[in-house]
Structure 1
Amino acid sequence: MKKIMIKDMPNHIGETVKIGTWLANKRSSGKLAFLQLRDGSGFAQGVVVKEEVGEELFAVAKGMTQETSMYVIGEVKADERSSFGAELNVTGIEVISPAKDYPITPKEHGTEFLMDNRHLWLRSRKQHAIMKVRNEIIRATYEFFNENGFTKMDPPILTGSSPEGTSELFHTKYFDEDAFLSQSGQLYMEAAAMALGKVFSFGPTFRAEKSKTRRHLIEFWMIEPEMAFVEHDESLEVQEQYVSHIVQSVLKNCKLDLERLGRDTSKLENVKAPFPRISYDQAIEFLHEQGFDDIQWGDDFGAPHETAIANHYDKPVFITCYPIGIKPFYMQPHPERDDVVLCADLIAPEGYGEIIGGSERIYDYELMKSRLEEHNLSMDAYAWYLDLCKQGAVPHSGFGLGLERTVAWISGTEHIRESIPFPRLLNRLYP
């Protein structure tokens, strides 16, 4: 007898197989028991017919509790009503471990209760689907950068300085020195790009930002490419090609998951390069036309502003060339203006906000030195970074994509806390 996974059932129609599963739910009548089975690869229905299996096995099937683990044995049958075309006619059950008082039942539960039981909530159909979308985005990310000549590099998580130059840092002690949890691997990736040309990192980052919005996490994952000899407009092309690739990959490989999430895929099908681009100046003018009198030139955009801009387009939109005063120290000034920098934020449709921030980087030594001084940043802490500007410096650009915001957008999930397995929020460090 062959042991298979639920996802492989359509390839074994007519065969008797064995599958390790958990009982997600069940219902029964006098002669039939319908077992909703899951094994991590997918969900399937197992049908137990009393006349075929006898009283004893039928009683076992009816008596099992939600999330009991077991091996089920049976014949795979074609079923047009199934989401993937197959169900299992169960002829044998081997209970491994009964579940006792499983707290997450099919009824409605409050968000805090579900978050307290996140270790179990992950087993639900919706959470399973979101995590499968997340995994596909990660898989497609590696595929895109590997196919385009990038080398994966791993920047440190413990650092002695901040790439963003802000106070939103988690402080710790590194023996007798001060250290911080990384906000971004960018500065280290710039050094790596000077050695390997095109590089990318993928790892956790931390922001000690006391925000409770649906767009923010304390710990999140970033994909951060850096590219030597690549200028601002060239970087935008890479960004739109990358985002197009991951969206189309999810559409192709996560059809059942998107269906389970109730995602309107027509809105994703149009996400193909090129993306529209507007300048910060144009964005301010547009917002004023839409009645947003609260924002003036020089202000950063909030969620309502980004949503209004995004709703004007049917795919992600770049907002380029922000004022120098609201962006980090390392961004290259505009060649024709001294008040804006060569940067862009990519705003996702449907109110999901910024998913990418990127720019061309400063590579002139004197300019970088003056920018560090203007931002009151320690010359000792940034000495190695400043050194990059005098050891064969070249034009270079990079960007960072926030994985969880991207997962939330593509999966259609309202709150970012559901787009990471174990979210760290302002008031949550458990489980």
Structure 2
Amino acid sequence: MSSSWVYIKDLKDYLDKKIILKGWMWNKRSSGKIAFLQIRDGYGFVQVIAEKSVLGEDFFNEIKKLKNESSLIIEGTVKKDDRSPVGVEILAEKIEIIHEPNEDYPISNKEHGIDFLMENRHLWLRSRKQFHILRVRNQIIKAIREFYLENDFTLIDTPIFTGSIGESAGNTFEMEYFDYGKVYLAQTGQLYLEAACQSLGKVFNLGPTFRAEKSKTRRHLIEFWMNEAEVAFYEHEDNIKLQNDLVNYIVKSVLENVRDDLEALERDISKLEAVNGEFPRITYTEAVEVLQNQGYNINWGDDLGAEHETKLSSKYDKPLIIEKYPKHAKAFYMQPDPQNPEVVLCDDMLAPEGYGEIIGASERIWKEEVLLKRLEEENLSKDDYQWYLDLRKFGSVPHSGFGLGIERTVAWICGLEHIRETIPFPRTLYRVYP
């Protein structure tokens, strides 16, 4: 009976059995008549023991000279090893070299500068830390989809090219679109989800968005992925509960399914375990008062910067919700608070530990006359938003939604210092290669 091809994640189920492992050698060391090969296969890392007495002297000498990232097919027996992260190692009986690089692998075990690593991002992805980060990212995205589908939402794929600006015109990527004229790379799919929710009730999307912001902070990317949701008949309080439930679901799913990856990243898991139940809430006005009392030079109506957000959220071990910002500090489509028309029914959710905003949300303006007034106040063309205004003409209802930034969520959950490691190929102010 021939041996089975087994992935590293399943090796523990094959103790004392012969298997076939296919992967890459990311490191090795040798001691006399034994070589210890560190192998990865896309599902984990394991040690393979290659012995001269088993493989023969000539081939063993070949193995000792192998360069990192050689691709191999290994046949051997799985043995228990309590020191291994996967609990096993493999005693090789046969090794086939599929491909050996002609030169040394550029990313060695020594320290490299971030510019070098970013220039070699296509290879840096193979490192252990990046492997674990991308596995956590994958689980976060999986959890998001599961949450919505379990709650009867419908996925809507919103367009990348748009003629309507959802946020600020100052940070859009603009291009000519055949004979049509100017179009923009989408900053948000929200406006289209608003149309879809009046057909399907509860809708969500998940895809790339673009902001032409000349920012070099550790929290910003030019191209990033966002999950957005929109629900007909949801008002401000319903919206906040939905966000709260989603984030709790994501964190719980990550802890249950990729805890080993968090541990490999040396994440303090106790901080994530504290994220459950109802999140704390304060108003923007209360936030400004707190900051003023702490000695910050901030006035009502000013934007909250990263330093302000970090200070405000540092008091809590759960995400902090700040609601009801000034109308003129937010986007045109946000519903004014009937109790105070100078503020809008919106909220930002700030991750703990100084990771900043992960969600921006609001109840949307649903009356045509109110929306027309806001378009005029913001000097936006009524003609460009005619289809959006149509939504307020035919059976309009209160509705609410939000956007969750995938990369900021990954940075927080993984405990990363910089957002550039949260996406396979980051696009920053000065980088579009590779």
TM norm structure 1: 0.99
Contact 1:219/1:423 (<8 A) preserved: yes
Partner of 1:51: 53
Partner of 2:413: 410
Counterpart code for 1:264: D
Contact 1:57/1:92 (<8 A) preserved: no
Mapped partners of 1:256, 1:72: distance in 2:
25
Mapped partners of 2:176, 2:376: distance in 1:
25
The Cα RMSD (Å) is 0.8
Cα deviations across residues 142-176 of structure 1 (Å, max 9, x unaligned)?
10000001000011100012011422110111102
Partner of 2:304: 301
Mapped partners of 1:211, 1:125: distance in 2:
29
Mapped partners of 1:239, 1:60: distance in 2:
56
Partner of 1:153: 156
Alignment of 1:391-410 (within 5 A): 391-410=394-413
Partner of 2:126: 123
* 2:207 maps to 1:200: no
* 2:34 maps to 1:32: yes
- 1:52 Cα offset (Å): 2.9
* 2:20 maps to 1:18: yes
SS of equivalent to 2:50: strand
SS of equivalent to 2:426: coil
Contact 1:322/1:340 (<8 A) preserved: yes
1:225 corresponds, among 224, 229, 246, to 229
Partner of 2:194: 190
Partner of 1:238: 242
Contact 1:192/1:199 (<8 A) preserved: yes
Alignment of 1:74-93 (within 5 A): 74-93=76-95
* 2:105 maps to 1:96: no
Partner of 1:326: 329
4+ runs deviating over 6 angstroms? none
Counterpart code for 2:67: T
SS of equivalent to 2:192: helix
Q: Which moves more between the two structures, 107-116 or 56-65?
A: 56-65
Counterpart code for 2:36: F
Mapped partners of 1:413, 1:72: distance in 2:
35
Cα deviations across residues 243-266 of structure 1 (Å, max 9, x unaligned)?
011111111111221111110000
Mapped partners of 1:408, 1:80: distance in 2:
31
Contact 1:165/1:329 (<8 A) preserved: no
Mapped partners of 1:205, 1:241: distance in 2:
24
Unaligned runs of 5+ in 1: none
Contact 1:129/1:257 (<8 A) preserved: yes
Partner of 1:313: 316
- 1:416 Cα offset (Å): 0.4
Number of residues of Structure 1 aligned to a counterpart in Structure 2: 430
* 2:141 maps to 1:138: yes
Mapped partners of 2:164, 2:368: distance in 1:
19
Between the aligned residues of both structures, percent identity stands at 57
- 1:311 Cα offset (Å): 0.5
TM norm structure 2: 0.98
Contact 1:28/1:34 (<8 A) preserved: yes
2:216 corresponds, among 212, 217, 226, to 212
SS of equivalent to 1:340: strand
